[in-house]
Amino acid sequence: MSRPDGARRAGPESTASPVLRLGPRSIPLERVALMGVLNITPDSFSDGGRYVRPAAALAHAAEMVEQGAAIIDVGGESTRPGAQPVSADEEIDRVLPVIEALAKEVDVAISIDTTKPEVMRAAVAAGAVLINDVLALRAPGALEAAAALDVGICLMHMQGEPRTMQANPRYDDVVREVGAFLRGRVEAALAAGIARERLLIDPGFGFGKTLEHNLALLRGLGSFSDLGVPILAGLSRKSMIAKVLGLPVEERLPASLALALVAVQNGARILRVHDVAATRDAVRMWEAVYY
C-alpha cells in the first residue's frame, strides 16, 4: 500500500525479514498478519469444548480464513492458568483429525500449539507448517525436533508452567528479563540450524505475569524488535482485561481490539486472536492511517 507524501510507518522499525518462512509456505509481513485461535480442548479459558468435534473445528477454521486469518493455530492442550497436562497420545488424537482436514480442505498456514516433540512431528506430517511453543523449545527433544522439521517456529516466554505460573510471578525488570530470555532462545534456535526467517517471538502476555507486568511488556514491546525476528502478540480476551475493566470473557472484544492496536503500534507483526473479522477491520484502519 502506498503512503501519502510525508507519511511514515508508526512504531519501531524492525530488522526482521518482511517474509516469514513456514516450510513450503510464506507469510508476507509488510502488513499485519492474523493468527486465528482454534482450541480442540474441553478446558481452554475462552472457547473450551466448542470445537472438539472435527466438523465444528473445520467450519470455524474456514470461517476465520474467510475473515482474513493467514494462520490457524490448532491447540490440543490448554495452557490457561491451572490447566492440567495431557499425554502426547491424547493431544495427537485431538489435533490430528483437524489438521488433516484443514490441510486438505482449506488453503491456510496451519500452526500446532504444542510443547511436545512427538506432537510436533505428527502435526507437521499431517500438514502443519508452524510450531507455536509456549516453552520456546525447552522440553527435552523439542529443539532437535523443530530443527529437523524445517517449518516455522514461534518462541514464547513463560515464567513457570501453566498449573502454577500465575501463583506469584516476579521480575526485577520484566521487559529486560523477557527480552534476555527471548534473545537466548533465538540464539539457541539459530545454533541448532533453524534459519532466522523461520523464527518469530512472543513475549507471552498472561503467562507468568501480573497485570503490571503485562502492561509494562506492552509498553516496551518495541524493544524486542532488535532481535531481528517478527513479534507475535496474543492479547485476545486475556484476563488482564478483566483486571482493568471487570469484564467476563464474552464482553472483552472492544478491549481486545484496543490492546491489539497498541501492540501493532509498538511493533507486533502477527496477532493471535479469537475475533478475526473485528481485528482485521481495526488493523486495516490503523494501516490506512500509517501506511
Q: Measure the CA–CA gap between 107 and 133, rounded to whole angstroms.
A: 23
pLDDT digits (tens, 9 = 90+) for 117-150: 999 999 999 999 999 999 999 999 999 999 999 9
Say if strands 232-233 and 270-273 run parallel, antiparallel, or are unpaired.
parallel
Q: With beta carbons less than 8 A apart as the criterion, state whether 9 and 268 touch.
A: no
- The question of whether 272 is a catalytic residue gets the answer yes
* Rounded alpha-carbon distances, angstroms, from residue 184 to 180, 205, 251: 6, 18, 37
Cell, residue 265 = 503500534
- The question of whether 94 is a catalytic residue gets the answer no
What is the DSSP secondary-structure string of 234-290?
A: --TT-HHHHHHH---GGG-HHHHHHHHHHHHHTT--EEEES-HHHHHHHHHHHHHHH
CA pseudo-torsion sign 77, 83, 89, 93: negative
pLDDT digits (tens, 9 = 90+) for 100-112: 999 999 999 999 9
Q: How confident is the model at residue 164 (pLDDT cuts 50, 70, 90)?
A: low
Q: With beta carbons less than 8 A apart as the criterion, state whether 93 and 132 touch.
A: no
Domains defined along the chain, listed by start? 19-290 (3.20.20.20)
CB-neighbour burial class of residue 138 (10 A; exposed 0-12, middle 13-18, buried 19+): middle
Q: Measure the CA–CA gap between 118 and 92, rounded to whole angstroms.
A: 8
Q: Measure the CA–CA gap between 38 and 54, rounded to whole angstroms.
A: 11
Orientation of helix 54-67 relative to helix 88-105, angle to 10°: 50
Q: Measure the CA–CA gap between 232 and 111, rounded to whole angstroms.
A: 13
Q: Measure the CA–CA gap between 202 and 268, rounded to whole angstroms.
A: 9
Radius of gyration, CA atoms only, the chain: 18
pLDDT at 56 over 90: no
Residue of 238, 252, 269, 280 with catalytic role: 238
| Encoded amino acid at 164, one letter | T
Higher model confidence: residue 227 or residue 11?
227
Q: Give the DSSP H/E element, type plus range, for residue 36.
A: strand 33-39
Q: Give the DSSP H/E element, type plus range, for residue 144.
A: helix 142-149
Specify the pLDDT at position 15: 66
| Low-confidence winner among 33-37, 50-54, 242-246 (lowest mean pLDDT) | 50-54
pLDDT at 196 over 60: yes
pLDDT at 180 over 90: yes
| Low-confidence winner among 153-162, 175-184, 264-273, 278-287 (lowest mean pLDDT) | 153-162
Residue of 21, 185, 237, 272 with catalytic role: 272
Specify the pLDDT at position 179: 98
Specify the pLDDT at position 13: 67
Q: How confident is the model at residue 213 (pLDDT cuts 50, 70, 90)?
A: very high
